[in-house]
Each structure stands twice: as C-alpha cells, then as structure tokens.
Amino acid sequence: MKKVNVKRVEDLEEEEQSFPVSPTGQYFTSSVLSISVISVLESEIPIDDSCTMILLKDVFLPINPRFSSVMVRDKNGDKRWKKVEVKHKDHIIVPIFPEGKAKEFYDNCFNEYLTKIAMEQLPQSRPLWEIHIFKYPTTKSAGNLVFKLHHSLGDGFSLMGALLSCLQRADNPSLPLTFPAFNSNNSNLESDYKKRFCTNVVQKVSGVVNTLVDFGWSLLKSTNLEDERTPIRSGDEGVEFRPIDITTMEFSLDHLKQIKSNLKVTINDVICGVLFLGVRLYMEETRYEQKNANSTALVLLNTRNIAGYKSVKEMLQPSNESKWGNRFAFLHVSVPKINKDEDSLTNPLGFVFKAQNVIQRKRNSAAVILTGKLLDTLQKYRGPEVTAKYIHNTLKNSSMTISNMIGPMEKMALANHPCKGLYFMVVGVPESLTITMMSYMGTLRVAVGTEKGPIDPQKFKCSIENAFDRIFKAAVPSASSKTPN
C-alpha cells in the first residue's frame, strides 16, 4: 500500500509540473511539420548584450511556462509540456564575423545567417526558442536581435504579445504602447463568419452556395488538387527543408490610407491588391506564358474573440486562456488574373477591386468554420499525425501564404536600445513563397521568404514595389508616385 501511495504522490507531482500540448501545437511538432517563427528587431544603436541573462531570467522566461518547458509523452502517449531548468547560455547565440568590413558586407552576412537559422531545427531536448544577437552594423540598422520560436509555443498573436511585453516605449517607458484601432468587422473573424452566414441563410441562398463551393474547393486543395508549377511555386517535395532568402520592403501607411480613401475600399483590399498584382507582374516578367497560371494564396486569419492585443498576463488568466496558443484558420484565395482585354499597366486598380470582391465573397461564406470542424474531427478520430499531414498538404498544394500583424504606433526600446524596425517570417513551411506584414510607427514592413534558386528575391521585391507604385499613381494622381523605401 505504501508503494502505491508513493507512486500516486509522484504522479501528482509530475502532473503539476506538466500541462497538455494543444492540438495545433502537436500538429506543428509532428513527423511531417516543424514550423517556427523568426522575429527580427533592428536596433538604432550598437547592441550591448551585457544584460541579456538578466532580461531572460526576469522578463522573458516568466512570460509563459512554455518557454521553460520541453515536450514529452505521458504514459498514454499524449504530448505534454514539462517544466525543466533552463540553461540560458544554450539559447543565446552570438555569431562571429570579420571586423571592420563595410555595411554591405554585413548585409550579406546577416542574410546568409537568417537563411542558416531558418533551416536549422530547434533541439527537442530543450525549450523551443533561441535568441541570436547579430552585433554588426548593416545598411538598415546598427545591430539585429533575432528571436526564433517554435510555432507550437503559440501563433503570431501570442508570440508577438510575448515579445512586445519585453519592450517599452522609447519616449516614456511608463506609458503603454498603443496600436492602430482594429476594424470592428475584423475583431472576431470566426464570430463574424457565423453572424454573416446565419443572416445570409435567411436573406440569400448565395451564402449557402458560397459555403459549399468554398469548403469543397478547400477540401480538394488540401487533398489532391495542386497549384501549377510556376515562377512562384517549384512544387518539389521537401521544399520546407531547402534554403530561403528573406527580403523586406516598406510602404507608408499614410499612402495606403490615401488609396483606401480614394477608392472607398479597405486597407486589406489595398494590400491584397498590391500583393496580387505584384505576383502577376513577377510571373509575367519571369515566364510570360504563365502569367495567369492558377495560383492560390493561403491567408491566415486570427479567430480570437478580442478587439486587439492583450497583455500576456491577461491572455494567461483562466477566463482568457484560449487567447494564448494557436487560434487561427486558413482561407484559400485564388490570385486574380490579368484579363485578356486589359493590361496591368493601364488598369492596376482592377486588382484592388478584384481583391475586394474576393474578400467580400469569402466573408459571405462559413467555409472557415467547416474547415475548423473538419480538423477537430480528424484530430479526434484519426489523431494529430493524420491532421498534421492534412495541414501539410494544404500548404504544399498552394502557392503562397500571407499573414499580417499589427504593431505599435510609437517607437519601442529593449533594454534602452531603440528599435528602428521590426518584422517576422514563418519558416519550415512546405511552400516556395511566404509573405508576412507588420505595421510599426506608420510604416508597413513586408517580409518575403522565397525558396533559393527558383525565385529571384530582388526581382520579386521590385515587382511588389512596382505594383504599389502603379496602384498609388492611379489612385492618387495628385501625389508623388514614388514608392517609399
């Protein structure tokens, strides 16, 4: 009897030191998927890393127990997070390069270094995060701080909330960071879909038709209907294990708002129009006969029932626990084509209106809800590995993924290091093209992850900038058409 009692005590103690891995967290650490997020903070001043260990111990690690845990399997074979002692030095990497070189030299060093860490797998034997301190000056910053966090720790919303909780306002640390107001129509996408769907069932048959068509198409895209091999999609197996290039560009939010106001559309319509036109321009220039090849974008949607960022403390409260973690959904969107009877040179605004029509149509559909239910059913009856395979196919069969985050309006600082710029990239995705966006201090930073070899990153960047320039010039003819950099 004593042995049984002791074992029970040990089991209880072990259970107290561990907690379940969410279903999505299990998908992202499966045999077919291992996805991470890389966030880059550009420092205005040379980086002093003397306080790194203190910040880790006192600020970063207390944010969430996942940052001090590893994944283990319990006696039932289920994955759980288990608390461990963190060896801080194992998670801090400071690369060494030749001293005294030109900034352009360090640009190349930094780009290659990002490629290197994007390809590397985070060791499962320790908590799934790393911090890389690049101390050399580039043409864009005096130094770079790179966070690499496994996607199983949380989605972009959770991880960005954690990162921002380590930062302060540069002008006055006692004041909170503020963010652009969320559009109430976008504050809760899942609820929004449900409301629209229920309304349209009564008012319009189109809501039901759109749902059936969209869900059926999504099902086909995730199983056996692949996009064509094009200049933006190699279609090769194992593309997630290949090197990538990460390039960035900047656009003025004021200019985007001017376009929005003049065309009477939304900011999302404008951004999607720019990206879609840029993709078609790149395809047209690279392989003209494939300029209108069938291409699908996976747009990531935040499904939380909240109107903006919450503090990490708020996200982890029992009543708000679902706000931390992976709470997103995929939306399949066909990239609009260049009409035979029109030219992208003469009608660039057509892509903004096409994007608007696609987005409005998708909002008159509950396909995202059905897809979520399908994943829940697969998880329940087939397990996380089968569900992970389904998600892998969803990504692999499409041409690109698009995701965005809203950043602060004020300049931030980390340990008295003013942050000049901020962007992120999702890596380990079985696609040749990934586009992410984040706003910061009145600027939209667009980061593009491209498979090395098949895609020319500089040509693709020029195509996106060219698309913005054309749309801005057509929508705001009275203003300068020069693309801000």
The answer to whether position 429 is within a domain reads yes
Residue 324, pLDDT above cutoff 50? no
Residue 325, pLDDT above cutoff 60? no
Mean pLDDT, to the nearest integer, of 331-353? 81
The answer to whether position 14 is within a domain reads no
The answer to whether position 233 is within a domain reads yes
From 94-98, 151-155, 236-240, 394-398, the region with the lowest mean pLDDT: 151-155
pLDDT score recorded for residue 342: 58
pLDDT score recorded for residue 386: 93
pLDDT score recorded for residue 166: 84
The answer to whether position 339 is within a domain reads yes
* 192-205 pLDDT, tens digit each: 545 554 554 444 56
User: For position 327, which CATH number holds?
Assistant: 3.30.559.30
User: Which one, of 469, 464, 467, lies nearest residue 437 by Cα?
Assistant: 464
pLDDT score recorded for residue 132: 97
Range of the domain at 45: 22-475
On the CB side of 383, how many CA atoms lie within 13 Å of its CA?
Answer: 7
Burial 364-395 (b: 16+ CB within 10 A, else e): bbbbbbbbbebbeebbeeeebeebbbbbbbbb
Is the model more confident about 63 or about 148? 148
Q: How many domains does the chain have?
A: 1
The answer to whether position 481 is within a domain reads no
Residue 92 phi, psi dihedral angles, 5° rounding: -110, 120
Rounding to the nearest 10 degrees, give the CA dihedral for residues 384, 387, 393, 399.
-90
Do the beta carbons of residue 469 and residue 481 sit within 8 Å?
Answer: yes
Predicted TM-score (pTM) of this structure: 0.87
- Euclidean distance between CA atoms 143 and 92, whole angstroms: 15
* 464-481 pLDDT, tens digit each: 999 999 999 999 988 754
What is the DSSP-derived secondary structure letter of residue 57?
A: I
- Euclidean distance between CA atoms 429 and 398, whole angstroms: 11
From 41-45, 135-139, 218-222, the region with the lowest mean pLDDT: 218-222
pLDDT score recorded for residue 199: 53
Angle of helix 253-263 relative to helix 349-363, nearest 10 degrees? 80
The answer to whether position 349 is within a domain reads yes
pLDDT score recorded for residue 181: 64
Mean pLDDT, to the nearest integer, of 107-116? 97
Tell how many helices (H) and how many strands (E) occur in the chain: 14, 16
Burial 95-129 (b: 16+ CB within 10 A, else e): eeeeeeeeeeebeebbeebbbebbeeebeeebbbb
Strand order in the sheet with 129-134: 92-93, 129-134, 143-150, 36-43, 417-427, 412-414, 168-169
pLDDT score recorded for residue 170: 92
Residue 1, pLDDT above cutoff 50? no
Residue 303, pLDDT above cutoff 70? no
What is the DSSP-derived secondary structure letter of residue 173?
A: T
The answer to whether position 387 is within a domain reads yes
* 228-247 pLDDT, tens digit each: 999 999 999 999 999 999 99
* 369-416 pLDDT, tens digit each: 888 888 889 988 998 899 999 999 999 999 999 998 888 899 999 999
Mean pLDDT, to the nearest integer, of 429-453? 95
Mean pLDDT score of the chain: 84
From 87-101, 157-171, 324-338, the region with the lowest mean pLDDT: 324-338
The answer to whether position 270 is within a domain reads yes
* 118-134 pLDDT, tens digit each: 999 999 999 999 999 99
Do the beta carbons of residue 282 and residue 463 sit within 8 Å?
Answer: yes
Instruction: State the sign of the Cα–Cα–Cα–Cα dihedral 351, 354, 360, 363.
Output: negative
User: Which one, of 59, 60, 40, lies nearest residue 133 by Cα?
Assistant: 40
Residue 306, pLDDT above cutoff 70? no
Alpha helices in 250-366 (DSSP H): 253-263, 267-286, 312-315, 349-363
